[in-house]
Structure formats: C-alpha cells, structure tokens
Structure 1
Amino acid sequence: MGRVLSVNISEKKGTIKTAISEGNFLESYGLINDAHSGSWHRQVSLLAIESINKMKQISLSSNNSTFGLFAENLTTEGIVLYELPIGTKLTIGETIMEVTQIGKECHQGCEIKNLIGSCIMPHEGIFAKVIKGGYIKPGDNIKII
C-alpha cells in the first residue's frame, strides 16, 4: 500500500504544477481544471517521491520545492509505480484509476527540462485514466486492486 503526498495542478502542459489541498477527479476525464485532463489515456500523471529523490540527488538543489516539480498530478510514496503493469487498477482516495502508460517522451520546450536540465517523468512516471471519480487529498491511501 502507498499513499498520496500531494495533489498538483497546472493550467498548461509541460509546466511545474502547484500543490492543492484536494483534487476532484472526474470519471473518464481526470483532475478538474488541469491541463492534462480530457478524453484520452493520460488523464492523470503519478510520480513517486522515491523517484523524485533519486533525481534530486543527481541534479537538483535542496532549495527546490518537490511536489509538482515534474508536472505530476499525484506525488506518491510506498509503491514502485513504474513497475506496475499497464491495466493495473488502483484505488486512490475515493477514486479508482487504471494504469495506461509507463513513462513518456519529453516534448520540445518543456519548462521542467529547461529549468532542471533533466526529467524523471519519462522513465519512472506513470499515467492513468479515471474509472471512478471522486476526491483525492494528501494522506489518502493507494491500494493495488
């Protein structure tokens, strides 16, 4: 079992996200008001703090904020996300999500890569679609079902 450390949102793709106190995730859509939401397979992005900490050791100063830094909607801990098979279902807070993609290609002009010099999301981030909507907040449990 894992847990949510932070729920993060941004208005534009490829930008650092801002932590919010709670997110409303709609079925077949994603996080309301987030740039990645929509009718596609990458509605929600997840990245583990363990992956972020690896990246911080390599290239980041300790002054940088951690949550949302790699444009992840959910910063998690306790589950090796990138080892989950595609199709894995997770209960996160009130929601149920299905893993749809492991990693991604970084796009040109990515603010994160420009600011930090590298990005862990293409290797260890995952994406999911919302099967059952609901609210997610920091501290919520994540269970593999």
Structure 2
Amino acid sequence: MAKVVSVNISEKKGTIKKPIEMGYFRKNHGLEGDAHAGSWHRQVSLLAQESIDKMKQKGIWDLVAGKFAENITTEGIELYTLPVGTRLKIGEEVILEISQIGKKCHGGCEIRKITGDCIMPTEGIFAKVIKGGYVKAGDEIEVLQETIE
C-alpha cells in the first residue's frame, strides 16, 4: 500500500521544508502557506522515501523528509515511473495530477550544497491540485488512472 510519510512546507523557495502535522492542498494552487504554491504546473512536489534511502546508501545519513524540498514524502509507490497526466488520490479527498517528472537543479540549490547531491532532478515529481483537501502522514495514495485521454 502506498502512503504519505510526511507533509512538508517552507516559506521560501530553494530551502529545506519542515514537516507539519497536516496540510491543506487548495485546488489550482498547492499547499497553503508553501513558497512553491501558485497558479503554475509545479504546485506540489513529491519524492519517495525509497529515493531518499538511495541517497542514504551513498553515505549521506542525516536525510529526513523535506530535506529535498518536497511537499509530500511518500512510501510504497515508484513515483518517477508514473507518466505525466497520472492522477493520484491522497487520503479521503485530494486529487493531484502529475505535471512533470524531475527538474533541473538551479545553481544555488541549498539541498545540493548540504547533501552534495540531489535526487529531485531524476526521481522527484510535480503535480497540480485537481481537487483540494487535507493531507496528513499515513494517508493512503491510490493511482486513479495512468494517463489523461
């Protein structure tokens, strides 16, 4: 079963996000109070705990949820293999639509400076909020459809 490990937020772009108990994901906006929220295609970022664990295997031990600036840390789902257009239902009501796989790290990336590497360019994904609601750690993640027709 795929699930949410952590919901993470930051007030400034390019910084490590801090875990919060629960977050409100607003339709066509993203996580309320997060620096990356807004009217664009990268409203929410997601990264799997399994991807973070790969970095730990490289000897970077102090990695925790949010350190790669992801809004939602997941477990039990290989996010980066899902095609753009895939919809994910999280918890009781939130629906996200994958809009981008990976990204280019900008030159002053705080995460790369701290960890020496960044997994977001290859394994992080981005999504738009299709249906809003609250998300918390432990919420189940369900793939609703593989692609948009």
Any residues of structure 2 matched to 1:9-48 within 5 Å, and which? 9-48=9-48
How far does residue 65 in structure 1 lie from its aligned partner after superposition?
4.5
Query: Residue by residue, what CA displacement relative to the aligned partner does 1:71-120 show, whole Å, maximum 9, x if unpaired?
Result: 00000001100000000000012200000000000011111111111100
C-alpha contact (below 8 Å) 1:59/1:116 kept by paired residues: no
CA–CA distance in structure 2, aligned partners of residues 35 and 108 of structure 1: 18
Query: What secondary structure sits across from 2:58 in the alignment?
Result: helix
How far does residue 12 in structure 1 lie from its aligned partner after superposition?
1.1
CA–CA distance in structure 1, aligned partners of residues 29 and 99 of structure 2: 14
Residue segments in structure 2 that go unaligned for 5+ positions in a row: 145-149
Runs of 4+ in structure 1 off by over 4 angstroms are none
C-alpha contact (below 8 Å) 1:88/1:99 kept by paired residues: yes
C-alpha contact (below 8 Å) 1:9/1:34 kept by paired residues: yes
CA–CA distance in structure 2, aligned partners of residues 116 and 58 of structure 1: 10
Counterpart position of 2:147: none
Counterpart position of 1:78: 76
Matched pairs, number: 143
**Percent sequence identity over matched residues?**
65
The normalised TM-score by structure 1 is 0.96
CA–CA distance in structure 1, aligned partners of residues 44 and 32 of structure 2: 11
Counterpart amino acid of 1:139?
G
The normalised TM-score by structure 2 is 0.94
Query: What secondary structure sits across from 2:113 in the alignment?
Result: helix
